[in-house]
């Protein structure tokens, strides 16, 4: 167990190290105004704290650095839930703007988050397995080309252009769209493929001449690829962190950031509220000396998306946590409004 004074010292060390990125020595601590103890006393305390695993040395005669356990304790017990609400205003303003497109807002939020923190921000769109198709529209641009537009109940819009082979009859096309609209309304996106292959195929065969060609084209146009959408902000902002002084670290970081699936799997927990993973607590090896802070936001219908900041273990937890709290709340609010309008 740590004494009061040890907690104070631990807090000072973590705060200081988060700010400076340099190991913290006893003398430096004793110089702070709210620390009335001598360097020697602090040395003794530090040895105790280290013994309990909250601190580490980078080498035998260096100052102390928080261990993962130290960060964990700091995050769990030593952070006062400071409310710097002024930071939220930037994003609040963005989101309160009457009209908006979901994706644009998310992308901007990601950029702003990264800009405010100098870490890399990641936002995971709503998980599509709850998302349902709301409406299908087909706009023909010419005799040979058309745009298919899919609108989901979350307000997400996707378009896809495709060319219409000469053999396909325009009236067939229209009939097909009607079929789609009737049958696919309120169908979960993830079940599209299945329904296409069974019911739709059957229905179409009845109504549409030259079934095969039309079917293939339409199917390709409608079944797009991404199940979840990922928004990353400020991949390069993180280079401002002093821990990125090592070229290999940069390389491995960027290599990891290119692997979308890995990142998605990392964020795909749907707990409510803030979640902090420090160092090896992360399941993915590639970020075993990073910290990842995630928060969830909610769509109008209760679905969850994830919003996260990835940075060095020496992260400004206090700032980041309150910021993420604000942003996820703002997003939830804004999306609730949007959803109500859309209903």
3-state secondary structure of 2: coil
Q: Min. distance of Cβ 20 from DNA in angstroms?
A: 10
State how far the Cα of 59 lies from the Cα of 64, in Å rounded to an integer.
9
Q: Min. distance of Cβ 30 from DNA in angstroms?
A: 8
Q: Which does 322 bind (CB under 5 to 8 A by kind): DNA, a copy of itself, none?
A: none
Query: Site residues for DNA, window 9-48 (CB under 7 A)?
Result: 22-28, 36-41, 43-44, 46-47
The 8-class DSSP code of residue 168 comes to S
Contact call for residue 245 and a copy of itself (CB under 8 A): yes
Report the alpha-carbon angle 53-55-60, nearest 5.
105
Contact call for residue 250 and a copy of itself (CB under 8 A): yes
Between 63 and 311, CB nearer to DNA:
63
- Identify the residue whose tokens are 């930037």: 90
3-state secondary structure of 283: coil
Among 142, 186, 206, 302, binds a copy of itself (CB under 8 A): 142
β-partners of residue 87 are none
State how far the Cα of 10 lies from the Cα of 101, in Å rounded to an integer.
45
Contact call for residue 220 and a copy of itself (CB under 8 A): yes
Give residues with Cβ within 8 angstroms of 189, minimum separation 6.
128, 129, 131, 132, 133, 152
Number of shown-chain residues binding DNA (CB under 7 A): 26
Query: Site residues for DNA, window 284-313 (CB under 7 A)?
Result: none
State how far the Cα of 171 lies from the Cα of 136, in Å rounded to an integer.
16
Contact call for residue 142 and DNA (CB under 7 A): no
Q: Min. distance of Cβ 16 from DNA in angstroms?
A: 10
Q: What mask, x for binding a copy of itself by CB under 8 A, covers residues 145 to 164?
A: x-x-x-x---x-x-xxxxx-
State how far the Cα of 247 lies from the Cα of 99, in Å rounded to an integer.
43
Q: Is-contact 54 73, C-beta < 8 A?
A: yes
Interface residue list for a copy of itself (CB under 8 A): 98-102, 134-135, 137, 139, 141-142, 144-145, 147, 149, 151, 155, 157, 159-163, 165, 217, 220-221, 235-236, 239-240, 244-247, 250-251, 254-255, 257-258, 338, 341-343
């Amino acid at each position: 167990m740590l004494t009061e004074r040890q907690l104070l010292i631990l807090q000072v060390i973590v705060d200081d190290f988060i700010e400076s990125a340099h190991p913290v020595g006893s003398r430096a601590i004793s110089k702070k105004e709210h620390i009335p103890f001598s360097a020697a006393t602090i040395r003794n305390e530090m040895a105790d704290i280290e013994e309990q695993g909250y601190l580490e040395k980078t080498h035998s005669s260096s100052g102390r650095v928080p261990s993962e356990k130290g960060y964990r304790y700091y995050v769990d017990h030593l952070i006062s839930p400071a409310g710097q609400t002024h930071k939220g205003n930037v994003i609040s303003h963005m989101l309160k703007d009457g009209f908006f497109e979901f994706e644009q807002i998310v992308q901007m939020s990601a950029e702003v988050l990264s800009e405010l923190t100098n870490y890399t921000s990641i936002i995971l769109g709503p998980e599509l397995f709850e998302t349902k198709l709301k409406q299908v529209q087909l706009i023909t641009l010419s005799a040979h080309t058309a745009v298919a537009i899919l609108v989901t109940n979350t307000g997400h819009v996707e378009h896809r252009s495709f060319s219409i082979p000469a053999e396909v009859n325009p009236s067939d096309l229209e009939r097909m769209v009607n079929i789609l609209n009737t049958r696919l309304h309120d169908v979960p996106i993830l079940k599209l493929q299945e329904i296409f292959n069974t019911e739709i195929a059957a229905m179409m065969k009845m109504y549409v001449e030259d079934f095969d060609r039309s079917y293939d084209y339409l199917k390709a146009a409608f079944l797009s690829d991404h199940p979840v959408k990922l928004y990353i902000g400020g991949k390069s902002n993180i280079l401002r962190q002093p821990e990125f002084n090592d070229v290999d670290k940069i390389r491995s970081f960027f290599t990891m950031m290119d692997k979308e699936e890995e990142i998605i799997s990392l964020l795909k927990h749907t707990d409510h509220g803030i979640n902090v993973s420090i160092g090896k607590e992360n399941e993915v090896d590639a970020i075993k000396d990073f910290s990842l802070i995630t928060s969830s936001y909610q769509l109008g219908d209760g679905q969850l998306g994830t919003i996260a900041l990835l940075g060095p273990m020496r992260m400004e937890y206090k700032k980041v946590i309150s910021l993420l709290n604000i942003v996820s709340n703002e997003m939830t609010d804004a999306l609730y409004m949007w959803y109500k309008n859309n209903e």
